[in-house]
Amino acid sequence: MTAHRFDSTVLREYDIRGIVGQTLREADARALGRAVGTVVRRRGGSRVAVCYDGRLSSPDMEAALVDGLSACGVTALRIGMGPTPQLYFAVHHLDADGGVMVTGSHNPPDYNGFKIVIGKQAVFGEDIQAFGSLAAAGDFEAGEAAPEDHDVFEAYIERLLQDFDGPSDLKIAWDAGNGAAGPAMRKLAERLPGEHILLFDDVDGTFPNHHPDPTVPRNLEALKEKVLQEGCDLGLAFDGDGDRIGALDNEGRPLWGDQMMLLLARDVLKERPGATIIADVKASQILFDGISELGGRPLMWKTGHSLIKAKMLEESAPFAGEMSAHLFFADRFYGHDDALYAAVRLLNALGTWGGSLAAFRDSLPQVVNTPELRFPCPEERKKPVIEEVRSRLAAAGAEVDATDGVRVREGQGWWLLRASNTQDVLVARCEAPDEESLARLRASLDEQLSLSGITSKEH
């Protein structure tokens, strides 16, 4: 195979993603197969697990990817269609030397992409760019291998159920949003005790009911209606490829990533007192303070699921998560973000809590916060603006955390400004005990933005 160039927008920080037929084609999938196969061969490996999501373009992309792997002499272990965490599970279960997931995650139907594991670790940053360099140079290993079919579905469901010790009388509404988690969600619900109501569990790559992104409130409307109508104890939802979870309490109100984490942290810290728990800079102060109160060691880290995963390994943290609702368990599990596994642990944690999910939600300190605010900013200005804001605040004696952008404590609240890893925007969030303080924080943020010439009128 000769050299291949990927569209310049396709190789991103955490994954590979493009618009099918425009920036991403089967030729890209084939070249990626060769590049991944080459890296695996050069590390002494020979077997790579492959899985694909429910998008219309996914089967063809998978076939081209498998072609590329085979042409390197790497055996593709094809596990068929499933959510991303099923691929991660297969890498462990089949003891593969890597894995590739064909998925457009929660993006619109015309998108697709790839998430890659080398050895047992998710690949990100420069290692993703390296696939592009190998392809551009046509620097590929050559060989011949026949793909193998492997059915890991039952083993995967068994593994999820293995750690269930929650209440047996829960009534639960589930929503897969017609994403790839549907069949596993259905099987899991079937095998769990209690009463289960399933929504949109058929895989349909056109996403006819709602977009499979449970961090957006309007995508939880149907689930909310079911929870209220049927008097459920909770509602659970999954994103298009099953690595992010959404939850509604028994009153139909969402629990965001940091709120779910605090409930889950109670269980983790009971078994592992003093453990380190990692959350990204977008998470509420309530979470970090709550972890401390439970006797744990809270650690704030950079946003981005690959970065969180890497930090988790470095710190031997049993549990980590993001506001975007990627939840990672190394406690009893493999350390990756599996939303179905997180659902099982959430049921356990609800049992430990003993009350309703609404009561848990109401037990948290009340705060008001802004949604994620996004401000357009040219790529080359992103880092300088953050640096300018940081040094102005430092000069003024403000309490600034520079883990990822600037996170500033002001009074009883805080605000965050960081550069998006994936888009030409600055991202901000403010949180305060009341509306009045929130308005003050928002004014501080706006002032800093305008001092750096960024228009603070929201994107």
* Cβ closest to Zn ion, residue 28 vs residue 243: 243
219 lies in the binding site for Zn ion (CB under 5 A): no
Applying CB under 5 A, which part among 239-247, 340-348, 393-401, 429-437 lies near Zn ion? 239-247
Give the count of beta carbons closer than 10 Å to the beta carbon of residue 366.
8
Instruction: Find the Cα–Cα–Cα–Cα dihedral 59, 62, 67, 70, rounded to 10°.
Output: -130
Closest C-alpha to 408, from 450, 440, 374 = 440
Closest approach, Cβ 389 to Zn ion, in A, equals 31
Residue choice 15, 28, 213, 241 for contact with Zn ion (CB under 5 A): 241
* Cβ closest to Zn ion, residue 40 vs residue 101: 101
Query: Which residues does 440 contact at the CB level (< 8 Å), separation at least 6?
Result: 410, 411, 432
Residue choice 243, 258, 331, 337 for contact with Zn ion (CB under 5 A): 243
Alpha carbon distance 287, 312 (integer Å) = 17
Residue choice 86, 105, 306, 324 for contact with Zn ion (CB under 5 A): 105
What are the DSSP calls for 403-453, one per residue?
SSSEEEEETTEEEEEEE-SSSSEEEEEEEESSHHHHHHHHHHHHHHHHHTT
Give the count of beta carbons closer than 10 Å to the beta carbon of residue 455.
12
Applying CB under 5 A, which part among 116-124, 150-158, 231-239, 271-279 lies near Zn ion? 231-239
The kind and range of the H/E element at 118 are strand 111-118
Applying CB under 5 A, which part among 103-111, 170-178, 283-291, 396-404 lies near Zn ion? 103-111
| Interactions with Zn ion, residue window 403-422 (CB under 5 A) | none
Q: Is 105 a catalytic residue?
A: yes
Q: Are 203 and 58 in contact (CB under 8 A)?
A: no
Residue choice 239, 267, 280, 337 for contact with Zn ion (CB under 5 A): 239
Closest approach, Cβ 257 to Zn ion, in A, equals 13
Query: Which residues does 444 contact at the CB level (< 8 Å), separation at least 6?
Result: 408, 410, 415
Closest approach, Cβ 222 to Zn ion, in A, equals 19
Applying CB under 5 A, which part among 48-56, 101-109, 135-143, 437-445 lies near Zn ion? 101-109
Site string for Zn ion, 175-204 (x = CB under 5 A): ------------------------------
Cα torsion 129, 132, 137, 142: sign:
positive
- Give the residue nearest to Zn ion (CB): 105
Catalytic residue among 57, 58, 70, 105: 105
Write the DSSP symbol of residue 289. Answer: H
Q: Which two tokens stand for residue 371?
A: 């949604």
Applying CB under 5 A, which part among 102-110, 141-149, 197-205, 360-368 lies near Zn ion? 102-110
Site string for Zn ion, 41-60 (x = CB under 5 A): --------------------
What are the DSSP calls for 142-171, one per residue?
------EE---HHHHHHHHHHT----SS-E
* Cβ closest to Zn ion, residue 246 vs residue 413: 246
Closest approach, Cβ 83 to Zn ion, in A, equals 8
* Cβ closest to Zn ion, residue 19 vs residue 364: 19
**3-state secondary structure (DSSP) of residue 192:** coil
* Cβ closest to Zn ion, residue 260 vs residue 350: 260
* Cβ closest to Zn ion, residue 241 vs residue 280: 241
* Cβ closest to Zn ion, residue 244 vs residue 429: 244
Cα torsion 377, 380, 382, 386: sign:
negative
Q: Binding-site residue total for Zn ion (CB under 5 A)?
A: 5
* Cβ closest to Zn ion, residue 226 vs residue 244: 244
Tell me which long-range contacts 88-92 makes (C-beta under 8 A, separation of at least 24): 88/117, 88/334, 88/336, 88/338, 89/152, 89/155, 89/156, 89/159, 89/334, 89/338, 90/49, 90/51, 90/150, 90/152, 90/156, 91/49, 91/117, 91/120, 92/120, 92/334
Applying CB under 5 A, which part among 6-14, 98-106, 122-130, 307-315 lies near Zn ion? 98-106
Closest approach, Cβ 180 to Zn ion, in A, equals 9
The catalytic residues are 105
Interface residues with Zn ion (CB under 5 A) are 105, 239, 241, 243-244
